[in-house]
Chains A and B, each alone.
Chain A
Amino acid sequence: MSTLLECRDLVCGYDKPLLQDVNLTVGAHEIVVLLGGSGCGKSTLLRTITGLLPPLSGQVLVFGESLYDLAPEERNQLLRRTGTAFQQDALFGSMSVGENIALPLRELTKLPQSMIKEMVRMKLGLVGLGGFESRLPTQLSGGQRKRAALARATILDPQLVFCDEPSAGLDPVVAASIDETLVQFRDTLGITLVVVTHVIESVRAIADRAVVLAGGRVCAAGTIAELEASTAPEVYGFFHRVPVAPHATPTTRTITRGIT
């Protein structure tokens, strides 16, 4: 299995380190979930992996290339092989749903307009938003906006897609359909996904592997079965809904597959 994403001794944060010693690899055609409580640094790690927040130290390798050692144009070229769906959906409010999804195609390819329209229709159909091309993002529900954001993130058929909290704040039915769409992306388009979430039902539904973040570092990683069986307090608490004392620091580190 080829490695699409690798973090080596990564330290990330804004002014001060929020996460330290992050070492992880993501192979092709798998769904890896970054799991952890609110404020544990999941989204910060995702911003670092997606090229938005330079690491304080360490390396992010995307398709084997060190993301932050590339010149801006080379980095842009590399990022075009990835897609990102943001927690806030980040759809452009001044554009229709169709225009939003077509944007990467219009800006980054020389495909004819007719082909772009067809591709947009196809992707919207895949996420269950067929016929929504001309609507504005403000005319969509929260779940529909998340779906539209997923369609935009995958419009260039990237090999690697990052999703920040795709099912957070949605009702269980809509959340389940988003999870189903993510699995469909992997199964039908062969897309590798790195998904940030704290919704444990979603983790069980989509993840091949999960990486648990707590106390400013990776405290566990492995398959869902391995993590469900873990006795480390942070992992056990997460999977079995047991509260952990505030300000507690991790006491056990369960190193399993996927962490080097």
Chain B
Amino acid sequence: MPPELATSVERDGRAAVVRLEGDLVVPTARALYTQLQDIARRRDVRSIVIDFARVGRIDSSGVAAVSLVGQQAKRSGRTLELRELGEHHRAAFAMSPRKVEEPPAEPPPTSFEALGDSMIATWDGAKALTSIVKDTTYQGVLVAGRRKQLPAGSVASQLFEMGFNGLFIVSLLAFLIGMTMGFQGVTQLERFGAGVFVADMLGLSMVRELAPLMTAIIITGRTGAAIAAELGTMKVRSEIDALATMGIDPNRFLILPRLLAITIAGPALTLIAMFVGMLGGMLVTSLALDLPAIAYWGRIAESVTLGDFAHGLIKAVLFSWIIAISGSHFGMRATGDPSSVGHATTRTVVVSVLSIILVDAAFATITTIAGGGP
């Protein structure tokens, strides 16, 4: 049977006497609260008296209702009196919140202060990034000079993960992009009777532009995100602090092996993507134009120089460094909150892709001005 609470209100001069009968609990508290509020608003009532003589159970909702009405009455200059309270009623009312002096809350920052905070955060981020680059380079010099060693097998294991495990997806995408480019080229160039030049177009665009860019974007998604997530998780789990307190430099132990591995894996995957992309284009041209494979590769050999390969591979190295440094920077800046690992991963992908495209554009501009083509 649901709890019930019957109320009756009697007037005693300017006082309203509310007699309760039943349980003052969650199912009945709201109706009582509304009724008491109405009484507390009446102009002819100067004091409210609640009689608890026939009240059974009272829970925190009942205490809250009476406490709020008491506060409302006090604000409007009325009084609230509780009569015939039993022991358990008194114990329940002992729960009602007392006024605790809270420490003064900090005022929210003004827009000027918020701007300052964001500038300070950006400056701190830039300092941290510079510090990672500087310290990792220093550790690299120490390792090169055989004054320090890398953790045994660390570069090989990273290389396997970044390079070998990424080979299939890079090859598949390069092959499909090569085919797509081939279809586009054949369709457009054949209208002008220049279908055979598809090989030139494919060779140059894969080697100089598409393979480095596409491989870098795949590496960002696979490896950059993984670096940020791994380092971020290690940071959150205090593993990086543990290294620091052991006197082991985290830059040498964690970042340098990843940087070295990606410096090898990035260009290697790019080189593979160049050839697999051209292979995809060859498949299309041989089917659509009946162009023999030997003629296709012959045209590529004529149009694509070693300088073009160097152009693509230098970009691949730069892109790989951007990815590794972004992943390391954002991973190492993760805080104690697990969600910061997710933020670090997202930032790594966004910043890496943006930086790669900016560097690519800058590279194209510089080489065009220098006379080497985009």
Contacts and interface: CB of A to CB of B under 8 A. Distances in A.
Interface string A17-53: 0000000000000000000000000000001001110
A143 B234 CA distance: 20
B373 to A, nearest CB: 45
A93 B245 contact: no
A108 B239 contact: no
B79 to A, nearest CB: 29
A119 to B, nearest CB: 15
A80 interface: yes
A247 interface: yes
Contact of B237 (A88, A104, A247): A88
A80 B246 contact: yes
A243 interface: no
The main secondary structure of chain B at its interface with chain A is loop
Nearest to B239: A90
Contact of A51 (B103, B238, B239, B244): B244
Contacts of B238: 86-88, 90
Interface stretch (B29-37, B215-223, B247-255, B350-358): B247-255
Contacts of A83: 245-246
Contacts of A93: 237, 239
A90 B237 contact: yes
Contact of B246 (A87, A91, A103, A247): A103
A79 B242 CA distance: 11
Contacts, number: 65
A80 B239 contact: no
A86 B336 CA distance: 13
Given A86-B242, A106-B152, A77 B102 contact: no
B237 A79 contact: no
B247 A90 contact: no
Contact of A52 (B237, B245, B248, B253): B245
Nearest to A164: B238
Given A106-B152, A246-B100, A247-B100, A76 B241 contact: no
Interface of B: 100-103, 151-152, 234, 237-239, 241-242, 244-249, 253
The 6 A-B pairs at the shortest CB distance, nearest first, are namely: A76-B247, A80-B247, A84-B245, A90-B242, A90-B238, A79-B247
17 contacts: A47-B241, A78-B247, A79-B247, A82-B245, A86-B241, A88-B238, A91-B239, A92-B234, A104-B248, A106-B151, A106-B152, A107-B151, A107-B248, A108-B247, A162-B245, A245-B100, A247-B101
Interface of A: 47, 50-52, 72, 75-80, 82-84, 86-88, 90-93, 103-104, 106-108, 152, 162, 245-247
